Structure 1
Amino acid sequence: MKDGHAVLARLAGVRRSYGAIEALAGIDLEVRGGQMLALLGPNGAGKSTAVGLLLGQGLPDAGTVSLFGRSPHELAARRRVGVMLQSAGIPDTLKVSELLALTRSYYPNPRSIADCVMLAGLDGLLERRYRQLSGGQQRRVQFALSVCGRPQLLFLDEPTTGMDIEARRTLWRAIRELVADGCGVLLTTHYLEEAEALADRVAVLQRGRLIAEGSVEDLRGHLVQRRIRCLSALSVERVSAWPHVMQAHRDDARLELVTDAAEAVVRRLLTEDPALTGLEVQRAGLSDAFLELTREDAREAA
């Protein structure tokens, strides 16, 4: 399933409105083989509309939508896709083994049951009925069903909702294996640390427009902010009043700051608290970049 970085899915100049609401305002987007694209945006940004069009759910008002160079309404294109959405509609009286057997029967060359179990971490769950599973376990089953047909393109919508840390790491590992094998992945998630850990490229939607696209480093580079952490007796109220301190709070005993002038703030911290220890200075993360990008766009719109 080695597709290199060939374009597997594309939106080109796509517009879609629902009455007076413009859900997509002429966006261009590509999902490539061997890469994960994280599609981020606040609620109502247009993410679900974009994904729905790529899955053949409706038609654009303008522009073109393609899946493997074909219309997403063609069965030949849709058979090469795996989908894990938030609402699954799975028959909950069936056992996990029965669900896997049923879904595998739709494909000419499905993964083995053993491979599905290993990828999704389903050990010990095959004879359990779907309705008896926890929310996190059900999400793992949904992931197994989405990959059992050996998809070349995988759509993941909030895939780790309800999962514990171990299950989330198992899923992350499986996704990385699929991408390394040439699968293209389109991820939508509100867990920005998930996008930061997995994505090769990030696209940010707001009000139906693509306001930023690039690697995680590209988006982080948009900010000059740094995050400072240390053990200090200085109060949050005092530090918050300093120039260039944009945020300040405590996480247990640690003082955490966000600043756009790290060197000056570090010098002042050391001057005002000579007993300070455990000093760390980190670049701002993807979540900081996302918030700043969406704030800037909202300010421009206003």
Structure 2
Amino acid sequence: MGSTVTLSPLARLSGVCKRYGEVVALDGLDLEVRDGEVLALLGANGAGKTTAIALMLGLITADEGRVQLFDRDPRELDARLGIGVMLQSAGIPETLKVRELIEVTRSYYTSPRSIADCVALAGLEGLLDRRYGRLSGGQQRRVQFAMAVCGRPRLLFLDEPTTGLDIDARQKLWAAIRELVADGAGVLLTTHYLEEAEALADRVVVVNGGRVVAQGSVAQIRARVVQRRVRCRSSLDPAAVAAWPGVNAAVRDCERLEITADAVEAIVYRLLTEDPTLADLEVTRAGLADAFVEITKEAA
């Protein structure tokens, strides 16, 4: 019989507690990031996401519990050389040109990506000779991504990576992230765009009050909410529909009537009966955003 090899996680928090004075930021948190996956770490502001990342980066130390990065202390240089980081506050010198920023960052690593590869991954064509401070917010985020990936990291920390990007640039960055993961890298992603987590994440961990309150695949997280959404073009009064049995809420969004309910069959039948002119009817299950709201509400 052959033996099964269990690979250690790239980063791990085990029973970690962290306090700032009287404030408990993390309360016995367990978290793992594995290679070849995107882990979306979700939570409201103050839930503990930033503290968890700072611990894995070795920027702060835990009061209790264990923090490991590649099975080592994250404050060790050898461990840090295996990561790439894209935080919300970058502190990048605005007078340097994009090419200079990438060259300086590449110099920290023994076998970095070529500048051409960094440009292609981050979508920086035509920007190498521009000064960082003269770029738009979205262009600066793409430069930060290039700097984060130029050392061929085994583990990539992406904190709100697509803030300020337009739809096209966001889609290109998603494609780059998928390419890195397909090559075996692990990604820890935090984002307020829940459709981004839904599009990218292999696993989702929801934290609230410094604790894990839900975790699993996107499908598993969504399955925790039975709610469905009905959208249609209808002349019916939302207030009247909201009073129907089984309807949780009904609102008008531009020309469309939007209804949320746990069971929708009877509601759809009544819609069709009461409004013969009803059109563009669609029924969808709860998305990750709905599940996130419900889970954090329950945790609170």
Same fold? TM cut 0.5: yes
* Paired AA for residue 189 in structure 2: L
- Given candidates 53, 63, 66, the residue that maps to 2:65 is 63
Alignment of 1:103-118 (within 5 A): 103-118=105-120
- Given candidates 99, 102, 105, the residue that maps to 2:104 is 102
Using structure 2 for the length normalisation, give the TM-score.
0.96
Q: Per-residue deviation at 1:250?
A: 2.2
- Given candidates 277, 280, 301, the residue that maps to 2:279 is 277
1:104/1:149 contact within 8 Å kept? yes
Q: Are residues 1:88 and 2:90 paired?
A: yes
Q: Which residue of 2 aligns with 1:291?
A: 293
Q: Are residues 1:37 and 2:34 paired?
A: no
The alignment partner of 2:259 has SS state of: strand
2:8/2:71 contact within 8 Å kept? no
Q: Distance in 2 between matches of 1:293 and 1:211?
A: 7
Q: Distance in 2 between matches of 1:104 and 1:245?
A: 57
Q: Which residue of 2 aligns with 1:225?
A: 227
The alignment partner of 2:10 has SS state of: strand
* Stretches of structure 2 lacking an aligned partner (at least 5 in a row): 1-5
Q: Which residue of 2 aligns with 1:247?
A: 249
Query: Matched residues, percent identical?
Result: 67
Q: Per-residue deviation at 1:92?
A: 0.7
> Which string of whole-angstrom CA distances, capped at 9 and with x for unpartnered residues, describes residues 180-225 of structure 1?
1111000011111111111000001111111000011011000110
Q: Which residue of 2 aligns with 1:19?
A: 21
Q: Distance in 2 between matches of 1:57 and 1:99?
A: 22
1:5/1:34 contact within 8 Å kept? no
Q: Per-residue deviation at 1:274?
A: 2.2
The alignment partner of 2:14 has SS state of: strand
- Given candidates 261, 264, 276, the residue that maps to 1:262 is 264
> Which string of whole-angstrom CA distances, capped at 9 and with x for unpartnered residues, describes residues 115-154 of structure 1?
1111100011111000000000000000000000000000
Alignment coverage as a number of residue pairs: 295
Q: Which residue of 1 aligns with 2:129?
A: 127
* Paired AA for residue 102 in structure 1: V
The alignment partner of 2:24 has SS state of: strand
Q: Distance in 2 between matches of 1:141 and 1:293?
A: 35
Q: Distance in 1 between matches of 2:25 and 2:191?
A: 18
Alignment of 1:70-81 (within 5 A): 70-81=72-83
* Paired AA for residue 256 in structure 2: R
Q: Distance in 1 between matches of 2:43 and 2:258?
A: 26
Q: Per-residue deviation at 1:267?
A: 1.4
Q: Which runs of 4+ in 1 moved over 4 A?
A: none
Q: Distance in 2 between matches of 1:269 and 1:261?
A: 14
1:53/1:59 contact within 8 Å kept? yes
Q: Distance in 2 between matches of 1:264 and 1:215?
A: 31
Q: Distance in 2 between matches of 1:288 and 1:5?
A: 34
Q: Distance in 2 between matches of 1:6 and 1:234?
A: 57
The alignment partner of 1:169 has SS state of: helix
Using structure 1 for the length normalisation, give the TM-score.
0.96
Q: Distance in 1 between matches of 2:85 and 2:213?
A: 26
- Pairwise CA RMSD of aligned residues? 1.1
- Given candidates 184, 187, 194, the residue that maps to 2:186 is 184
* Stretches of structure 1 lacking an aligned partner (at least 5 in a row): none
1:6/1:33 contact within 8 Å kept? no
The alignment partner of 1:161 has SS state of: coil
